[in-house]
């Protein structure tokens, strides 16, 4: 399902950490929660698109 793309997930977390270093040091919980919500949302949208394409 996820094509074992753990490297891509690590790259996303690392890129966000580098870009938002100051924000992360001030609000680390907010940063991590936001990232996890974005990842979850993206997975759900991807699964929905896959389901719709599978129907047609």
Distance CA 7, CA 53 (A): 26
Q: Is residue 15 part of a domain?
A: no
Q: Is residue 19 part of a domain?
A: no
Distance CA 17, CA 2 (A): 23
pTM: 0.57
Q: Per-residue pLDDT tens for 4-53?
A: 667 777 787 788 777 777 766 777 787 778 878 888 898 888 888 888 98
Q: What is the pLDDT of residue 3?
A: 58
Q: Count structural domains, the chain.
A: 1
Q: What is the pLDDT of residue 14?
A: 80
**Which DSSP letter does residue 56 get?**
-
Q: Is residue 39 part of a domain?
A: yes
Q: Is residue 10 part of a domain?
A: no
Q: Is residue 4 part of a domain?
A: no
Show the domain range for 56: 25-56
Structural tokens at position 21: 């270093």
pLDDT classification of 56: cutoffs 50, 70, 90? low
| Whether the Cβ atoms of residue 16 and residue 23 lie closer than 8 Å to each other | no
Q: Is residue 44 part of a domain?
A: yes
Q: Is residue 41 part of a domain?
A: yes
Nearest to 39 by CA among 1, 17, 18, 8: 8
Structural tokens at position 14: 């690392």
Q: What is the pLDDT of residue 12?
A: 76
């Amino acid at each position: 399902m996820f094509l074992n793309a753990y490297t891509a997930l690590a790259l996303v977390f690392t890129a966000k950490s580098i870009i938002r270093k100051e924000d992360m040091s001030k609000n680390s919980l907010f940063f991590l929660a936001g990232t996890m919500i974005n990842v979850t949302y993206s997975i759900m949208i991807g699964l929905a698109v896959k389901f719709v394409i599978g129907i047609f």
